[in-house]
Structure 1
């Protein structure tokens, strides 16, 4: 089955860490899979994390296993994890070219990435590097950040909405696959994500939604 909307026929989702894509766009990714689109996840880091005070929260092997399980829950089969440091994904030529290689291999009709004003520097740098790596592609959407990453001095502008009424359950199930993160943040993590989705749904006269800011967008007539 082919995706009925050629704009999304080959959709590449880029995240700095394992769980970022599911948080921001898990419902959209699942909807696109169900619509017959080819969906690929690209994660920039193994997502191992140790705090400044030495507390170790997440092992790389565990994070990847959780990420693979989450992607499978959404129906995503194409899944790449790069080896950049979780806290130090940079807007650097090596990062841009690593994304560029995936972009040119996949040739996406739509690229999803982080928002460049995100207060998590690896998120912001991933956004800038993705926009640079996708410079020959005409459609790039940016995720809405969620607390604590989204507490920026610039306001996110929701410009494109996706109805996820039929995939909110898959989105939340995928987040629960990230058991190490759920242990860290608690049940409020899931509740907060669901509440955000409910609010965006209310704005678009649906039950649940996800919102994106447009970097650039090519109009495609079927």
Structure 2
């Protein structure tokens, strides 16, 4: 605990988006932090981070934060697009209960490691959406999930205000990254032009009962 008091200064806040934008609704958390960074100016005490699927590499960021907000796609067992907020001690338990992907296993390990080090953030807030589709490689957020990004941002801004942090909107903000949502959508071929479930030749051989080679696997 002495080490934590030394490295944590003030009300340091980490806003973290985790997931993989290459797998449809898995990209929800990443798209949320992207939208937050593009549309809002935050004080220096707030770090907004695209955590992707980095797992334990995120521990140094989590362990020095006093407050933590996480955006992610979560299997709540509810209708696709349902948005829920989980807080406090329920966050690590909930993320460990219904894993949908390896990145959630990795982030549960981050929280567990931070807890063992006595460096778990004092405040935890998970903003999660129920995904509709996770098995579409190269696909985008489904409409009902994409529609929840602004609402998720509003929830995060409300939580930041509760922690005494005010965000200022950025006029005419535009995310310029080639992986930003609009640019990604504009350059992505549709499913008819780019098979996202596997090579069509390989799938045809499988359907016909032909053996596959190691190279095809």
Normalising by structure 2, we get a TM-score of 0.38
Q: Which structure has the bigger radius of gyration? A: 2
Normalising by structure 1, we get a TM-score of 0.37
